[in-house]
Amino acid sequence: MNQTLKGVTYVSVWVLLWGTAASIADFVLLERAAYETGSGGQAITFVSY
């Protein structure tokens, strides 16, 4: 496997993990009614992750 493919794979895996973690955090906060869907709190959660 060449270096470019390794780099693309590495970054892709991190993006998937990061997106999954942000989605889980968002789901938990929505279920606990910490904020409403589409609110500023939801945007801050995704931006901060």
pTM comes to 0.71
- Give residue 9's pLDDT: 97
Each residue's pLDDT tens digit, 3-49: 999 999 999 999 999 989 888 988 998 999 999 988 988 888 778 87
Asked if residues 41 and 35 have their Cβ atoms less than 8 Å apart, the reply is yes
Give the whole-angstrom CA distance, residue 27 versus residue 30: 5
DSSP character string of 1-49? --HHHHHHHHHHHHHHHHHHHHHHHHHHHHHTTSS-TTSHHHHHHHHH-
User: For the chain, which residues make up each domain, given as ranges?
Assistant: 3-48
Give the whole-angstrom CA distance, residue 2 versus residue 47: 33
